[in-house]
Amino acid sequence: MSKYTYTEKKDTRSGFGAGLTELGELNKNVVALCADLTGSLKMNEFQKKHPERFFQAGIAEANMMGVAAGLTIGGKIPFAGTFAGFATGRVYDQIRQAIAYSNKNVKIAASHAGITLGEDGATHQILEDIGMMKMLPNMTVIVPCDYNQTKAATIAIAEHQGPVYLRFGRPAVPNFTKPNQKFEIGKAELLYTGKDVTILANGHMVWKAIEACEILLEKGIEAEVFNIHTIKPFDKEAVLNSIKKTKAMVCAEEHMLNGGLTDTAAQMLALNFPIPIEAVAIDDKFGESGTPDQLMEKYGLTSDNIVAAVEKVLKRK
């Protein structure tokens, strides 16, 4: 019997929508903007309940980010939502100058991130967004793993003073974390304790890491598994404590190897406690059309890939 179970699959973007709706009641300063993707980001409920606090920005993301930055000056807490590709690469300079450098309290809500966006193909499948966002001083970068956690993260970041990049996705995935959980920004979440290897995962890869851990247990390998829902600030202490015990690490992420979770973890370990690391990530390739599951398989982002990476890293110990 697995330690973690779920009764239904839900999309993380709906978790964002539910969190935003709840915030609408909790905090009168919360406002929302969307660039013509209100339905896709599940922002309709907030729009319906608080039309005076919702601003349709049209297909004009650069202006949306600038308007969001301006809204913070009057004490508002804007959530600016669009697809992750358009919420980062398209508007990098606006985020850099008006939000990150100016340290404005804007929450960037980035949906349909990664390869699981699926059939729309590589123009829409951003795999570099975390790298771009984590390089910006002042920016907090969060990648929750399921519906419940995305909802909790949405509510938590409204309380955090400063810019936040919140990344979530399109497909329905196992909803296994607790409803109404307390979301602690910057704190690695320990899912399994183990002595042989440390696995770090985030977003959609967390459930796959759980599956991998169960397979590894059957093989007699005890993995210590963390959900790194906050890439920046990175929970250095939790990870260092774990790898000092296991002396091997695998990172699993739905992102480009260059710039993502592996990149953050590897850099920290190289500087502090070098040990063998293997990655389950996309290595310098654009995506393509396909179903989310087909793409995860083709691009090597499955629980079997995590198991194989663990077996490989253990040989390097």
Partner 1 sequence: MENIQNLEKIASQVRRDLLRMIHAKKSGHPGGSLGVTELLVSLYFEIMEHNKDFKMDGINEDLFFLSIGHTSAAWYSVLARSGYFPISELASFRAINSRLQGHPATAEGLPGIRIASGSLGQGLSNACGAALAKKLNNDDKFVYCLLGDGEIQEGQVWEAAMFAQARKIDNLIAFIDYNKQQIDGTIEDVMNLKNLRQKWEAFNWIVLECNGNDFQELISTIKQAQKLSGKGQAIMILSKTEMGKGVDFMTGSHKWHGIPPSDEQLENALSQLEETLGDY
Q: How far is the CB of 175 from partner 1 (least distance, A)?
A: 34
| Separation of alpha carbons 197 and 275, rounded Å | 11
Q: Does 52 bind partner 1 (CB under 8 A)?
A: yes
Site membership for partner 1, residue 75 (CB under 8 A): yes
- The number of residues that bind partner 1 (CB under 8 A) is 33
Interface segment toward partner 1; rule CB under 8 A; list 96-104, 209-217, 235-243, 253-261:
96-104
Q: Verify binding: residue 220, partner 1, rule CB under 8 A.
A: no
Interaction of residue 66 with partner 1, rule CB under 8 A: yes
Per CB under 8 A, does 71 bind partner 1? yes
Any contact of residue 98 with partner 1 (CB under 8 A)? Answer: yes
Asked if 90 interacts with partner 1 (CB under 8 A), we say no
The reply to whether 170 sits near partner 1 by the rule CB under 8 A is no
Q: Determine if 101 is a binding residue for partner 1 (CB under 8 A).
A: yes
Q: What are the structure tokens assigned to 24, written together?
A: 């609408």
Under the criterion CB under 8 A, does residue 69 sit at the interface with partner 1? yes
Please tell me whether residue 233 binds partner 1 under the rule CB under 8 A: no
Which of these ranges, 98-106, 109-117, 191-199, 274-282, lies near partner 1 under the rule CB under 8 A? Answer: 98-106
Q: Find the binder of partner 1 among 6, 9, 45, 62 (CB under 8 A).
A: 62
Stretch that binds partner 1, among 74-82, 164-172, 179-187, 296-304 (CB under 8 A): 74-82
Instruction: Return residues touching partner 1 (CB under 8 A).
Output: 31, 52-53, 55-58, 60, 62-76, 78, 93-94, 96-98, 101-104
